[in-house]
Homo-oligomer: A and B are copies of this chain.
């Protein structure tokens, strides 16, 4: 098959690779229905995360099960499945506590920007839909694999409750779907920080009530203005930089919650300021598996339409253009169709 490899900064190649095979009896092989480029793929693409050797790319996927290993019990060939970007056995104590992305058997997925994909721990990682879904729902189901599940976790980790005032820092796909998630959780006010017109528009479609274009200290001052000087109940940190984290902590009221899902690269949280902030801090790699049944249900019943984040569709062999478009912020998120 031909699949996607990253050789170094801005060097994405679609090239011949061996077909994946069952390695462990708990594996499954999927025929990918759709894959996509993730905001987090841009870290190595931009060289911020070093690439020491060519690496297979992609960790978001939906597809049809082709074959399963001998120990796989629940997942069957022919099923349409959605899986998390982190594998999990879904039985260990961490999984039982709902932290499947800290599963004792966790592996981070890769190689999903391809026509075929090996998924370890298939029984614990994958969730099958009741029927083969109609084609128009596939992009939305694909978002559940990462960006929707991650936005949902950001909102959950930020303790979004009915009536809450919520701020979303970051207008990438995760931030936008964080706004959608907060809306589903009953937030009354959803303030999205964004300077990009197309993203603002989508944020409003997903349930945002206010847009703030200021950043940093000015952004925090604007949030304070909008919240009677108090700060927000819940802030979703969907970027992962020092600036965005500090902006998030400072925009939260004492006793409020910051849910963070942007991977921290070189971020240090200053203890003294954090101590006196009285803010709750929780996040990390989203335990998408915990939310998959609920999210699949919301999508199949067409209560949410998260697939709108895909504003670029490409055949898989044009994957390099998907990276370029997202890197240059010409696209929010690129859908790849094998």
Q: Footprint of B on A, CB under 8 Å?
A: 93-94, 97-99, 101-102, 228, 230, 242, 245, 253-255, 260, 263-272, 274-285
Known contacts A102-B255, A230-B94, A255-B94; is-contact A274 B269 (Cβ 8 Å): yes
Q: In this complex, what residue of B is CB-closest to A230?
A: B93
Q: Which of A242, A264, A266 has the most CB of B within 10 A?
A: A264
CB neighbours (8 Å) of A260 from chain B are 275
CB neighbours (8 Å) of A265 from chain B are 271-272
Shortest beta-carbon distance from A104 to chain B in Å = 8
Contact of A267 among B253, B267, B271, B278 (CB under 8 A): B271
Shortest beta-carbon distance from A278 to chain B in Å = 5
CA distance A277 to B271 in the complex (A): 17
Shortest beta-carbon distance from A238 to chain B in Å = 13
CA distance A57 to B271 in the complex (A): 25
Shortest beta-carbon distance from A291 to chain B in Å = 14
CA distance A98 to B280 in the complex (A): 14
CA distance A270 to B228 in the complex (A): 32
CA distance A254 to B86 in the complex (A): 15
Shortest beta-carbon distance from A43 to chain B in Å = 12
CA distance A282 to B277 in the complex (A): 10
Known contacts A97-B254, A278-B102; is-contact A268 B270 (Cβ 8 Å): yes
- Enumerate 21 A-B pairs (CB-CB under 8 Å) in ascending A order: A93-B228, A93-B230, A93-B253, A94-B230, A94-B253, A97-B253, A97-B254, A99-B255, A101-B278, A102-B254, A102-B276, A260-B275, A265-B271, A267-B271, A275-B283, A276-B285, A277-B284, A278-B284, A280-B280, A280-B282, A281-B282
Q: In this complex, what residue of B is CB-closest to A262?
A: B275
CB neighbours (8 Å) of A264 from chain B are 271-272, 274-275
CB neighbours (8 Å) of A255 from chain B are 94, 97-99, 102
CA distance A94 to B229 in the complex (A): 11
The answer to whether A94 touches B254 (Cβ under 8 A) is yes
Shortest beta-carbon distance from A224 to chain B in Å = 12
Shortest beta-carbon distance from A204 to chain B in Å = 28
CA distance A179 to B272 in the complex (A): 25
